[in-house]
């Protein structure tokens, strides 16, 4: 079973997170878990479809507010998070919208899906 890294907000395969080297723990239903990283307008579309399916989501941009004001939000990538209890359904929705395994986070899709 995959563990949850509280620091990175991702599911990990090992007991130690490969990104921050902190210990993982058993996931809880309300843990916010990384789903995908997308640019605009795709992150808007994904979150809208999740909302329509009753799945709350959280988005975090990679740029700060100052950079967003300067260059605009269309150049920003947003990380999308969902509660662990909705993760499986959210992945199905993601795959139906963007194709199975297509993640834009710089990691292998197999790593994302675990």
SS3 content of the chain, % helix, strand, coil (to 5): 35, 25, 40
Strand 57-61 relative to strand 3-5, pairing: unpaired
**19 found inside a domain:** no
**64 found inside a domain:** yes
**39 found inside a domain:** yes
Per-10-residue mean pLDDT, the chain, length 114 = 94 96 97 93 94 95 55 71 98 91 44 41
Q: How many CB atoms lie within 10 A of CB 73?
A: 16
**70 found inside a domain:** yes
**47 found inside a domain:** yes
Count of domains for the chain: 1
Find where tokens 């490969």 sit.
18
Query: Taking the mean position of all CA atoms in its chain, how far away is CA 66?
Result: 23
**104 found inside a domain:** yes
Query: Model pTM?
Result: 0.77
Structural domain boundaries, residue 67: 27-113
Q: How many CB atoms lie within 10 A of CB 52?
A: 9
**92 found inside a domain:** yes
* 78-111: pLDDT as tens digits: 899 999 999 999 999 999 999 865 554 434 434 4
* 82-91: pLDDT as tens digits: 999 999 999 9
**21 found inside a domain:** no
47 by Cβ neighbours in 10 Å (0-12 / 13-18 / 19+) ranks as buried
């Amino acid at each position: 079973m995959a563990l949850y890294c509280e620091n990175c907000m991702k599911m990990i395969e090992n007991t130690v997170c490969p990104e921050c080297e902190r210990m993982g723990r058993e996931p809880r239903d309300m843990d916010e878990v990384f789903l995908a990283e997308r640019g605009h307008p795709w992150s808007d579309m994904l979150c809208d479809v999740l909302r329509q399916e009753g799945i709350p989501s959280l988005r975090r941009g990679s740029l700060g507010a100052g950079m967003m004001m300067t260059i605009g939000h269309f150049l920003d990538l947003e990380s999308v998070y969902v509660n662990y209890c909705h993760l499986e359904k959210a992945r199905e929705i993601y795959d139906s919208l963007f194709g199975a395994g297509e993640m834009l986070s710089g990691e292998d899709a197999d790593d994302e899906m675990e």
